[in-house]
């Protein structure tokens, strides 16, 4: 094998390995904000979808995150991975089917301490029928660090 070809293959391998290890910077954002402007911490602390306020924003992973209170913003800043939705905020059901789809902030569920968002309430009904299977399928597909 010519030396040039070997070096090209090696360079491509190193590039792909580096890219695969890099963190995914993309989170689905609607209207300019992650989760359509809803407070991701509130899902955990209030048990409901709560709109965030533009004055209480944080930039993280290429998206603007809004919060309903300064306390929630502080909680997120201490450990954003604990509160960020799985699969970059894309629909957990669609991801299990190999597709990336937007979500409805009102269609959500916390499972094993992780936030999952769904495209709409109809897909939510389907996803709820076999949550472990859909999560397992999505985890295999999603390349980001939050998917595992």
DSSP state at residue 148: -
Q: What was the pLDDT predicted at 26?
A: 65
What pLDDT score was predicted for residue 32? 82
Per-residue confidence in pLDDT tens, the chain, 148 aa: 454 433 333 333 333 333 333 344 368 887 789 999 999 999 999 999 999 999 999 999 989 999 999 999 999 999 999 999 999 999 999 999 999 999 999 999 999 999 999 999 999 999 999 999 999 999 999 975 444 4
Distance CA 128, CA 114 (A): 15
Q: Specify the pLDDT at position 28.
A: 86
Closest listed residue to residue 16, CA positions, set 140, 147, 143: 143
pTM of the model: 0.79
Exposed / middle / buried, residue 21 (Cβ in 10 Å: 0-12, 13-18, 19+)? exposed
Residue 76: Cβ-neighbour burial (10 angstroms; 0-12, 13-18, 19+): buried
3-state class (DSSP) for residue 43: helix
Q: For the chain, give me the number of helices (H) and strands (E)?
A: 7, 6
């Amino acid at each position: 094998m010519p030396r040039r070809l070997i070096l090209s293959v090696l360079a491509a391998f190193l590039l792909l390995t580096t890219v695969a290890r890099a963190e995914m910077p993309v989170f689905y954002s609607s209207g300019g904000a992650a989760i359509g402007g809803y407070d991701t911490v509130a899902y955990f602390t209030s048990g409901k979808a709560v709109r965030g306020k533009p004055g209480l924003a944080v930039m993280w992973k290429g998206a603007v995150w809004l919060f309903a209170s300064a306390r929630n913003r502080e909680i997120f800043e201490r450990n954003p991975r604990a509160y960020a939705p799985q699969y970059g905020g894309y629909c957990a059901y669609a991801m299990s089917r190999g597709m990336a789809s937007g979500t409805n902030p009102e269609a959500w569920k916390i499972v094993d301490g992780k936030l999952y968002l769904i495209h709409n309430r109809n897909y939510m009904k389907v996803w709820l029928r076999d949550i472990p299977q859909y999560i397992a399928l999505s985890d295999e597909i999603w390349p980001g660090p939050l998917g595992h």
